[in-house]
Amino acid sequence: MGAWVVRVLVALGLLGSAWVHYDLWANEGFKDIDVVGPLFLVNAVAGVVVAIAVLVWHHWFPALAAVGFGAATLGAYVLSATVGFYGVQEQFTTQAEIWGVVTEAGCIVFGIILMAMAVRSRSRA
């Protein structure tokens, strides 16, 4: 699998997660939840920014940022689905939750692959 394909997969994961969080924030009332509401908006913006970085900056750092983004977002979701996260308790029953988990896992998996590809190509140079 070429580096460009992996970059696109990472960017799609980031943009998918960003869209889920923006949609929940804008249309599902999450903007009215203390702490979590602002975090959903930050997540949406950060997902877009990191996706652009992954596509234009061919370095290992944006891939690391994508992995961190996916891990932090997925970790917050796992907390919300188990013990709760700042008063939000999820149930893993909606399409948004499923799509979020899939896209965030994609950020992690494809981000690690992209990071490994970047490090490997730097060691060859």
- Residues 69-96 have pLDDT tens digits of 999 999 988 888 888 787 777 877 789 8
Give the model's pLDDT for residue 84: 74
pLDDT band at 1 (very low <50, low <70, confident <90, very high): low
pLDDT band at 125 (very low <50, low <70, confident <90, very high): low
d(Cα 43, Cα 21) in Å, to the nearest integer?
A: 7
Angle (nearest 5°) at CA 123 between 121 and 125: 75
| More confident position, 91 or 108 | 108
Find the distance separating the first CA and the last CA of the chain, reported in whole Å.
20
CA neighbor of 50 nearest in space, from 69, 71, 74, 36: 69
Angle (nearest 5°) at CA 97 between 91 and 101: 115
Dig out the tokens for 26 from the structure.
């804008």
pLDDT at 119 over 60: yes
